[in-house]
Amino acid sequence: MTIDVQQIIFENVIQPALLALDMGRYIEDGYRATIWLMWGCIELVLIACILVPLQRWRPVEAVTDPATIRVDMLYTFIHRLGLFRLFMFLSLEPLLDEAFGMLRSGSFGIISLGTFQLDQLWPSVTDNAVVSLLLYLVVFDFLDYWIHRAQHGFPAWWALHSLHHAQRQMTCWSDNRNHLLDDLIRDLLLVCIAFLIGVSPSQFILIVVLTQLSESLQHANLRLSFGRVGERLWVSPRFHRLHHSIEYGFGHNFGVLLPVWDVLFGTANFDDRYEPTGIDALGVDSTDYGRGFWAQQWLGFKRLVRT
Ligand SMILES: [Zn+2]
Ligand SMILES: [Zn+2]
């Protein structure tokens, strides 16, 4: 069914738009992009229809600065509707194509890369559709944990990631509030790993969508914990809020989907607390991070240069 809807949207919206813009050479890419656009729209509907009412039901704190939430909404729309991905594609695709082509053809002397598939490790077990998806999910989540540790560990990367943490009105729209350079580095790493471990495009989309939806929930202004056992199985709003806490956070709860990495590497904190978020405790007023989209991007760039 998904394929049919993809076809209908492609034929009625994407294809005519590409032809009107004289971009017929991107027809095939446009078809692939349609599935991302579809999932992005589904995500936005789910956020608006489920997470927003949940926030009204059990908020952690009152909304005192709606303007800053509107900017976070802009970030979410840019990312989930694929505008950032489109920019990445147009600017980086030729470069990546060449790099991956060289890896595939063995020009770097690494002949097997690009043909390796992690789910072929144990044929008839790991290549089962569900097992394979879970396997890739765990691998990407492990990678995400260490990317997040690096975002806090390297001063230059923190100069960018701190924009995400400066938000004092954290809501279900705050997940994509990041510096574009930060997103670019993270996405490039994930795409390279996806290539190296041979995840299929449809599995990759599912993993990304699931991760994004879970991240939207984690950032929600929502007093919600998954209970003693659940808190250790999946990252909850309580778990991630503690990572954002002004006084408590930063050193804890880096996990993106699975708290198990924080448990294994000694960074887990399961205290049942709902703290104010932001980074004022570090002696920096959060207004220094800018209020509008471009101000935030420009100030982030300046922080990076200073570092
Ligand atoms: Zn962080
Ligand atoms: Zn966060």
pLDDT at 103: 62
- Phi, psi dihedral angles at 275 (to 5 degrees): -90, 160
CA of 212 to the centre of ligand 2 (A): 11
pLDDT at 12: 84
Smallest CA-to-CA distance from 218 within 265, 285, 143, 164 is with: 164
CA of 244 to the centre of ligand 2 (A): 6
Smallest CA-to-CA distance from 175 within 235, 124, 224 is with: 235
pLDDT at 106: 54
CA of 147 to the centre of ligand 1 (A): 10
pLDDT tens-digit profile of 8-40?
A: 888 888 888 888 888 888 788 888 788 888 999
Smallest CA-to-CA distance from 163 within 305, 306, 281, 299 is with: 299
pLDDT at 152: 95
Smallest CA-to-CA distance from 225 within 211, 239, 204, 246 is with: 239
Q: Which ligand is nearest to the CA of 241?
A: 2
Contacts with 136 (C-beta within 8 Å, 6 or more apart), sequence order? 118, 119, 197, 199, 203, 204, 207
CA of 22 to the centre of ligand 2 (A): 40
pLDDT tens-digit profile of 268-288?
A: 999 999 989 998 745 555 557
3-state class (DSSP) for residue 192: helix
pLDDT at 284: 52
pLDDT tens-digit profile of 70-125?
A: 999 999 999 998 888 777 777 776 676 676 666 655 554 444 455 667 777 777 77
pTM for the model stands at: 0.88
Rounded to an integer, what distance in angstroms lies between the CA atom of residue 164 and that of residue 187? 16
Yes or no: say if 39 and 7 are a contact pair by the CB < 8 Å rule.
no
Say if residue 159 is exposed, middle or buried (CB neighbours under 10 Å; 0-12, 13-18, 19+): buried
Rounded to an integer, what distance in angstroms lies between the CA atom of residue 104 and that of residue 225? 45
pLDDT at 2: 54
CA of 240 to the centre of ligand 2 (A): 7
C-alpha to C-alpha distances, 234 to 217, 246, 273, nearest whole angstrom: 11, 23, 17
Q: Which residue reads 């938000």 in tokens?
A: 167
pLDDT tens-digit profile of 224-250?
A: 999 999 999 999 999 999 999 987 767
pLDDT at 71: 97
pLDDT at 9: 82
Yes or no: say if 76 and 176 are a contact pair by the CB < 8 Å rule.
yes
pLDDT over 70 for what percent of the chain? 89
pLDDT at 110: 45
CA of 262 to the centre of ligand 2 (A): 15
> What residues pair up with 277 in beta bridges, in sequence order?
245
Smallest CA-to-CA distance from 201 within 275, 295, 136, 126 is with: 136
CA of 250 to the centre of ligand 1 (A): 6
What's the whole-number average pLDDT of the chain?
87
CA of 251 to the centre of ligand 1 (A): 9
Q: Which ligand is nearest to the CA of 171?
A: 2
Torsion angle, alpha carbons of 171, 175, 180, 185, to 10: 160
pLDDT at 115: 61
Rounded to an integer, what distance in angstroms lies between the CA atom of residue 264 and that of residue 267? 8
Q: Does residue 222 have a pLDDT over 90?
A: yes
Q: Which ligand is nearest to the CA of 167?
A: 2
More confident residue, 122 or 144: 144
Helix 293-306 and helix 155-165, axial crossing angle in degrees, nearest 10: 160
| The two structure tokens encoding residue 80 | 């989930």
Yes or no: say if 172 and 219 are a contact pair by the CB < 8 Å rule.
yes
pLDDT over 90 for what percent of the chain? 56
Contacts with 243 (C-beta within 8 Å, 6 or more apart), sequence order? 249, 250, 252, 253, 254
